[in-house]
């Protein structure tokens, strides 16, 4: 069994190194992680307290209803299981964390997760050069009874999936570099938000947002925000 798990992991790594399409990487990881008992996962950069999660998400195989709710209600900032990834470099299981009865908002997030079919999970923090760090959060709809070897396999597979996903978003790195704020402004422009709305969402000044939008247009070499959004989609900066 041990050898078999190792084969699963090495086959995955050999395959994923060759994939250059984020949806193919997502599908490949989904099949393999499901075979190890984890049908759901999300691979994402970790947002700081004043940031939203969405712009950091690289691969999303969460149940749709849970992703919608988690992002709409900005659950990450109350999610003790997710927040723990900000403070450790080692992988952990949900069950490794003790959440006290007094931590109501954390318990509410866990209850909601359960109602969406996520009852247990395993989180892999990883180094990231452009966010605080990144993590792959695997989840399952039944209590997990994975062996250490199975978790080690999930661990390395998620790391190589992250590497492949990053390479798949390569144009992003060949571009004049966008700052996190510029990327956020682009993201919200793509969601149809005005400069004023963006300033409210991000909690920064209107003039500041206008400045970001101006430098964005310069960097993307376009005249209007609509063109910036189109260019962002074409280059893979905005997930379509």
The residues that touch another protein, with contacts defined as CB under 8 A, are 5-6, 9-10, 13, 89-91, 125-130, 134, 149, 152-153, 155-156, 159-160, 162-163, 166-167
CA neighbor of 82 nearest in space, from 44, 114, 117: 44
Minimum gap (Å) between residue 202 Cβ and another protein:
22
Q: Give whichever of 94 and 188 is closer to another protein, judged by the CB atom.
A: 94
Q: Is 28 left (phi over 0), alpha (psi -120 to 50) or beta?
A: alpha
Minimum gap (Å) between residue 120 Cβ and another protein:
20
Q: Give whichever of 28 and 155 is closer to another protein, judged by the CB atom.
A: 155
Pairing of strands 134-140, 40-45: antiparallel
CA separation for the pair 47, 103 (Å, rounded): 21
Q: Give whichever of 166 and 183 is closer to another protein, judged by the CB atom.
A: 166
Could you tell me where the DSSP H helices lie in the chain?
Answer: 2-18, 22-35, 64-72, 80-83, 104-115, 148-168, 171-174, 180-190, 195-202, 206-220, 225-234
Minimum gap (Å) between residue 7 Cβ and another protein:
11
Minimum gap (Å) between residue 6 Cβ and another protein:
6
Residues in the chain: 240
Q: Give whichever of 9 and 238 is closer to another protein, judged by the CB atom.
A: 9
Q: Give whichever of 112 and 132 is closer to another protein, judged by the CB atom.
A: 132
Q: Give whichever of 38 and 160 is closer to another protein, judged by the CB atom.
A: 160
Task: Output the CA torsion 15→147→133→220 (10° steps).
Answer: 30
DSSP state letter for 237: S
Minimum gap (Å) between residue 181 Cβ and another protein:
16
Count the neighbouring beta carbons within 10 Å of the beta carbon of residue 7: 11
Minimum gap (Å) between residue 56 Cβ and another protein:
14
CB 149 within 8 A of CB 37: no
Q: Give whichever of 5 and 228 is closer to another protein, judged by the CB atom.
A: 5
Minimum gap (Å) between residue 13 Cβ and another protein:
7
CA neighbor of 91 nearest in space, from 54, 37, 52, 146: 146
């Amino acid at each position: 069994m041990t050898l078999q798990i190792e084969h699963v992991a090495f086959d995955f790594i050999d395959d994923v190194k060759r994939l250059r399409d984020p949806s193919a990487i997502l599908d490949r990881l989904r099949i393999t992680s499901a075979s190890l008992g984890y049908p759901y996962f999300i691979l994402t950069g970790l947002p700081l307290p004043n940031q939203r999660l969405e712009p950091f998400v690289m691969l999303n195989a969460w149940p749709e209803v849970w992703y919608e709710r988690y992002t709409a209600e900005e659950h990450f900032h109350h999610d003790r299981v997710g927040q723990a990834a900000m403070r450790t470099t080692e992988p952990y299981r949900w069950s490794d964390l003790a959440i006290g009865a007094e931590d109501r908002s954390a318990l509410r997030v866990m209850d909601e997760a359960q109602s969406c079919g996520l009852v247990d999970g395993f989180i892999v923090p990883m180094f990231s050069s452009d966010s605080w760090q990144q993590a792959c959060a695997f989840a399952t709809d039944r209590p997990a009874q994975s062996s250490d070897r199975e978790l080690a396999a999930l661990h390395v597979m998620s790391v190589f999936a992250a590497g492949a996903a990053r390479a798949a978003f390569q144009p992003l790195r060949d571009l004049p570099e966008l700052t996190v704020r510029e990327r956020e402004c682009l993201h919200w422009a793509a969601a149809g938000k005005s400069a004023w709305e963006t300033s409210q969402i991000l909690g920064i000044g209107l003039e500041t947002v206008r400045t970001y939008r101006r430098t964005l247009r310069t960097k993307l070499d376009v005249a209007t925000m609509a063109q910036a959004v189109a260019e962002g989609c074409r280059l893979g900066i905005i997930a379509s």
